Amino acid sequence: MQVLTSESIVLRGSDDVVLVRQAARKLAVSLGFGIVDQTKLVTASSELARNTVDYAGGGTVLLETLREDRKSGVRLVFEDQGPGIPDIDLALRDGYTSGSGMGLGLGGAKRLSHEFEITSTPGIGTRIAIVRWK
């Protein structure tokens, strides 16, 4: 897999969540994603950016365009040094929330992505990587 472009955004608040949404859409459009794939990527990026801000107190996201064989994609890697997720399987279940949300964020982001990888250590932080291919 080849990384074509890379950009990092610091996530501190709601304005940064908007920046992530805009950057994800821009990358998807630049690769020729259709409107449905654009929407799926933007929605997943918004959910994960919001979680990073709300539950971890902030972090970063790395946005990359990828090339693998004949397909193009966008990878987003969210990292934080927040409280971590003690039970990832539980957190991925629809309806589970550790806050006041609807409990669709992590599981929804996973369903909207072609690839989803999460690692989390309580007290250390969380890393979530998603990929959407064209």
For the chain, give every domain's residue range. Answer: 2-133
Q: What kind of fold does domain 2-133 have according to CATH?
A: Heat Shock Protein 90 (3.30.565)
Residues sharing a CB contact under 8 Å with residue 120, sequence separation 6 or more, in sequence order = 84, 85, 88, 126, 127
**21 vs 43: CA distance, rounded Å:** 8
Taking only the tens place, the pLDDT of each residue in 78-118 is 999 999 998 888 888 876 566 555 445 799 899 999 999 99
- Whose tokens are 């007290």? That residue is 123
Measured in Å, how far apart are the chain's first and last C-alpha atoms? 14
pTM: 0.93
Joined tokens for residue 31: 């690769």
Neighbours of 5 (CB within 10 A): 12
